[in-house]
Structure 1
Amino acid sequence: MICRHDRVILMANVTSAGEKQYYAVALLEVLFRELPTWWRAGVLYDVGCNLHRSTVKWNLMPKISDRIEWGISVFHAFGHQWPCQCIYHPQKRDGFGLSDGEGCERCWGALKKLISICRVSGVSTRFV
């Protein structure tokens, strides 16, 4: 999780490939535990539209969901359908300014050299 200034706030040990919503939910719950209860936050996420829909459908994060403004990161927005872009594009919403939401991608780009040497290996991944 990265702030709008591209500084790391929280990190999770990602053990499975793909966009898993539970990582984002866990990070958001930890973040909101540390914030004052009257603060709101804008969340830009590659699939923010899907995560927003999941929070409503499955009643995820009931104590904080009304304090979140959802959006999709600018580069990833063009992979979404037009109605989704109209609702979730940060430049079409109030409060996001010129934030592009791509800070995590830039961070991953800088850290990708560490992925292979930090990979967890265990009994289930060894060849016998």
Structure 2
Amino acid sequence: MTTAGERQYYAYALVDKLFQHLPPPYTVGLLFDIGCQLERSCMKWGFLKEHLPRLAFAISVFHAFGHGWACQCIYHPRKCRGFGLSDGEGCEHFWHSISKLIAFLRVCGVWVFLAFAVLS
């Protein structure tokens, strides 16, 4: 990843790699902030064409309310089959819980590298 923000091609690459490691009958539920745009791009431009029948798109609950009414009705995980009671925010909660470590690890990583370079 070279730029900040959510780029669709990162999601396509990850989903394609995931399907390379899954057996053929598996179906994947994809909860993504812009899942509606991902599915539309897949349909319009033929991205992930071979995997589309095995993909179910949804938008995490928090982000669904920022989308239009039609989008909320179609892509809300509580309205999509197979997502159960998931709100789609599990990763966000996890990253928030370890956010205190990020600044320390970032600085520590640089200093450890510099110290190693100087000592070598």
TM-score interval for Structure 1 and Structure 2 normalised by the shorter chain: 0.7 to 0.9
Structure 1 outlier segments of 4+, above 4 Å: none
- Counterpart of 2:2 in structure 1 is 15
| Bigger RCO of structures 1 and 2 (CA < 8 A, at least 6 apart) | 1
- How far apart, CA to CA, are the structure 1 residues paired with 2:67 and 2:89? 16
Any gaps of 5 or more consecutive residues in structure 2? 111-120
Any gaps of 5 or more consecutive residues in structure 1? 1-13, 121-128
Deviation at 1:50, TM superposition (A): 0.6
1:71 aligns with 2:58: yes
- How far apart, CA to CA, are the structure 2 residues paired with 1:15 and 1:111? 22
- Counterpart of 2:13 in structure 1 is 26
Aligned length: 107
Higher helix share: 2
Q: Deviations over 1:44-78 (max 9, x none)?
A: 11110011111111110111111101100011111
Q: Deviations over 1:73-114 (max 9, x none)?
A: 011111011100000001012111001111221233234442
Alignment of 1:32-51 (within 5 A): 32-51=19-38
1:114 aligns with 2:102: yes
Identity across aligned pairs (percent)?
A: 52
**Structure ID, larger Rg:** 2
